[in-house]
Chains A and B, each alone.
Chain A
Amino acid sequence: MSQADKMKQGQFTNPETPGYVGFANLPNQVHRKSVKKGFEFTLMVVGESGLGKSTLINSLFLTDLYPERIIPGAAEKIERTVQIEASTVEIEERGVKLRLTVVDTPGYGDAINSQDCFSTIISYIDDQFERYLHDESGLNRRHIVDNRVHCCFYFISPLGHGLKPLDVQFMKAIHNKVNVVPVIAKADTLTLRERERLKRRILDEIDEHGIKIYHLPDAESDEDEDFKEQTRILKASIPFAVVGSNQQIEAKGKKVRGRLYPWGVVEVENPEHNDFLKLRTMLITHMQDLQEVTQDLHYENFRSERLKRGGSNRKPEPEETDKDMILQEKEAELRRMQEMIAKMQLQMQKQGDGEGDGHHV
């Protein structure tokens, strides 16, 4: 007993202490392993076209995710349905690798009748969960690729007086499947007062309709004051009002990323101008938490529902394997037929040569 007591008392600070076991090193091991493995993160961006989604993503990750982009005209947009475009990019910073997938949803909210525009998006999210479930239940679980959507940035237009009916409906449809982070786009349209009013309005409407957006976890009590303060500020600024830009502008003698207007320069990274830095901080410091919530909450919800339905839904699988087998059989048969035909042709040829008849069938 005294040994255990001594172990408890012997804190992990000094390796020379007799009670030191050494599993304090575990976090370092985890850290090293995960750095080697790299991180995966899937971010979905949803919003009407023209809200600056692509520009914001490029600004956030300082890359150009959409090098050859053709924006279709209005006539083409009439025909289009919502599409899902996933682009993956590998970013490395100080030895840490991040495999970032950005899922874009062009065509959302463009059509005159937008009733069906989110069914495509919801089936995509469900498909990713389905695939993960399938992989997880499979025999070889070594290389499970996590393509589940960890976070969804929903872009709200700054022009309205709050949420539009489409916004409300969409968020209600996906708040149980993915972490929703509402973002006010093109925030340089708004003066400070308008911005505060809009944020309050949006938060009220979110409460009113019972939409569950992603809530930042409160800082643990053992974190330092700065971190706590930062978390408090972040929580108070939701939804973030952002401006995106990758252009370098000269302002006050230094080069900043921003937008140049005849009446002034909007700096992307100036916290007084917009909440871009806050959004980036939130995303980076809570990337792990977003993944956890996706795994523990949304994925588990999906899984339990799926397995409850499981009995009736499993049938397609054996049918599929049957189909595969049938296909394979048919292919084999086809090959055999082809060989037979080839043989027959050869025989014909020989006959023809033997008879001296140049006539081929």
Chain B
Amino acid sequence: MTDSAKLHQPHPPPKGERSHAGDFSYVGIDAILEQMRRKAMKQGFELNIMVVGQSGLGKSTLMNTLFKSKVSRKSAQPNPEEKIPQTIEIKSISHDIEEKGVRMKLAVIDTPGFGDQINNENCWQPIMKFINDQYEAYLQEEINIDRKKRIPDSRVHCCIYFIPPTGHCLRPLDVEFMRRLSKVVNIVPVIAKADTLTLEERDDFKQTIREELRANGIDVYPQKEFDEDAEDRLINDKIREMIPFAVVGSDQEYQVNGKKLLGRKTKWGTIEVENIAHCEFAYLRDLLIRTHMQNIKDITGSIHYEMYRVRRLNESNAGPGLAPGQAPTLVPAHTNGQTKVNGGPPNGMAAQCEVLTHEM
């Protein structure tokens, strides 16, 4: 970094860009933004999105539509079978995509079999275990004595939950799942296949869902308590009034008014995916990718992961007899995720390392 700093110093900013061109008080600190940008572009970004919902809700299609390329599990298999699996499977597909020089390592984690069985009790457990396992892997890497420069981030940043467009209210399964998972991961609920609902029905349904989420104490992304300042709150309030987004996905293009657009063609009209008068896909995409991607990653890293870390380290501190590594099923009532646990005396840290690595 010092090299690039030296590179910058001899070149004063060109006239017109800075109002104080030729001003002796300009130091050049804001050039750090440029340095960060360059570094980020070199490093690339990682994003892990999990999609959860019953089969047939259009999860794979929506992922393909979001990233405008075939990133879903179905596109990875040569001949997708589309049979409902007997138990829930967790399938993670990784892609490297690039846009304007920015590289992104995108992982789409699919959960076929969720909610499809006759008896769906505890169908959220494999998913919770997966998420906690990713946190565990990151934690292990972090507390390693000899750790990598850049810890590979496989933590689930965002979980998109697909609500079937019944038009009435949430199902008990939806409530149970979101209640448990909103405590460990950012949940973004969406109404799937929203071309089933007329605009009136859509608004009624959304209102019902919002009320039910509130009544059950489910905090979906963007969470109210993590708003940093008034500006954030303003933007996020607007988003909170719109969730859950009613989306339609499609990876086929049709000609509409002379333009090629992604959509669904039916006998009574063509539904345009990116038309906000038709569905709210554009809002979802903007939220996930264009405006809040970094925020999602930050909250995962600094709040959800920290909570997990606190819990785990406390567990191993509780006593040598306690077997660490048991995925805790009960989430602690309320931990202020902002406070960090001090590792204690170095001896304590080493002892913890020992206990944990032994478990592995």
Residues of A within 8 A of B (CB): 48-51, 71-75, 77-78, 110-115, 157, 159-162, 164-166, 169, 186, 188-189, 191-192, 259-267, 272-273
Residues of B within 8 A of A (CB): 54-58, 82, 84, 116-121, 164-176, 192-193, 195-196, 198-199, 208, 212, 215-216, 264-272, 277-278
Contact check, A74 vs B198: say whether CB atoms are below 8 A apart.
Answer: no
* 25 A-B contacts (beta carbon < 8 Å): A49-B171, A50-B165, A50-B166, A51-B166, A74-B169, A74-B212, A77-B172, A110-B172, A113-B119, A114-B118, A114-B120, A115-B118, A159-B56, A159-B165, A161-B55, A165-B84, A188-B268, A189-B165, A189-B196, A261-B271, A262-B277, A263-B269, A263-B270, A265-B269, A273-B268
Contact check, A159 vs B57: say whether CB atoms are below 8 A apart.
Answer: yes
Partner of B212, one of A73, A165, A188: A73
Partner of A267, one of B192, B193, B268: B268
Contact check, A189 vs B193: say whether CB atoms are below 8 A apart.
Answer: yes
Partner of B118, one of A50, A169, A265, A266: A169
Contact check, A191 vs B266: say whether CB atoms are below 8 A apart.
Answer: yes
A276 to chain B, nearest CB (A): 14
Which applies to chain A's interface (DSSP): helix, strand, loop or mixed? loop
Contact check, B54 vs A75: say whether CB atoms are below 8 A apart.
Answer: no
- Taken together as a complex, chains A and B put the C-alpha atoms of A112 and B116 apart, in Å, by 10
On chain B, the residues within 8 Å of A114 by CB distance are 118-120
Contact check, A188 vs B266: say whether CB atoms are below 8 A apart.
Answer: yes
A184 to chain B, nearest CB (A): 12
On chain A, the residues within 8 Å of B175 by CB distance are 74-75, 78
On chain A, the residues within 8 Å of B208 by CB distance are 73
- Taken together as a complex, chains A and B put the C-alpha atoms of A262 and B266 apart, in Å, by 13
Which applies to chain B's interface (DSSP): helix, strand, loop or mixed? loop
A190 to chain B, nearest CB (A): 8
- Taken together as a complex, chains A and B put the C-alpha atoms of A74 and B54 apart, in Å, by 17
Contact check, A71 vs B169: say whether CB atoms are below 8 A apart.
Answer: yes
- Taken together as a complex, chains A and B put the C-alpha atoms of A260 and B201 apart, in Å, by 11
Contact check, A160 vs B168: say whether CB atoms are below 8 A apart.
Answer: no
On chain B, the residues within 8 Å of A160 by CB distance are 54-56
On chain B, the residues within 8 Å of A165 by CB distance are 84, 116-118
On chain B, the residues within 8 Å of A157 by CB distance are 56, 164
Contact check, B174 vs A74: say whether CB atoms are below 8 A apart.
Answer: yes
- Residues A112 and B120 in contact in the complex (CB < 8 Å), given A71-B169, A263-B271: yes
- Taken together as a complex, chains A and B put the C-alpha atoms of A226 and B274 apart, in Å, by 46
A114 to chain B, nearest CB (A): 5
A189 to chain B, nearest CB (A): 5
B163 to chain A, nearest CB (A): 11
B252 to chain A, nearest CB (A): 9
CB nearest to A118 among chain B residues: B118
Contact check, A263 vs B118: say whether CB atoms are below 8 A apart.
Answer: no
- Taken together as a complex, chains A and B put the C-alpha atoms of A162 and B55 apart, in Å, by 10
Contact check, B264 vs A191: say whether CB atoms are below 8 A apart.
Answer: yes
On chain B, the residues within 8 Å of A48 by CB distance are 166
Residue of B166, B264, B271, B272 with most partner-chain A CB within 10 A: B166
Contact check, A75 vs B215: say whether CB atoms are below 8 A apart.
Answer: yes
- Taken together as a complex, chains A and B put the C-alpha atoms of A113 and B172 apart, in Å, by 10
On chain A, the residues within 8 Å of B57 by CB distance are 159
B25 to chain A, nearest CB (A): 55
Contact check, A50 vs B266: say whether CB atoms are below 8 A apart.
Answer: no
On chain A, the residues within 8 Å of B118 by CB distance are 113-115, 165-166, 169
A343 to chain B, nearest CB (A): 61
Query: A-B pairs with the 6 shortest C-beta distances?
Result: A50-B166, A264-B269, A160-B56, A263-B269, A264-B268, A74-B170
- Residues A113 and B82 in contact in the complex (CB < 8 Å), given A161-B55, A261-B269, A262-B278: no
- Residues A50 and B167 in contact in the complex (CB < 8 Å), given A112-B120, A159-B193, A164-B84: yes
- Taken together as a complex, chains A and B put the C-alpha atoms of A263 and B82 apart, in Å, by 30
A38 to chain B, nearest CB (A): 35
On chain B, the residues within 8 Å of A260 by CB distance are 198
- Taken together as a complex, chains A and B put the C-alpha atoms of A265 and B268 apart, in Å, by 6
CB nearest to B271 among chain A residues: A263
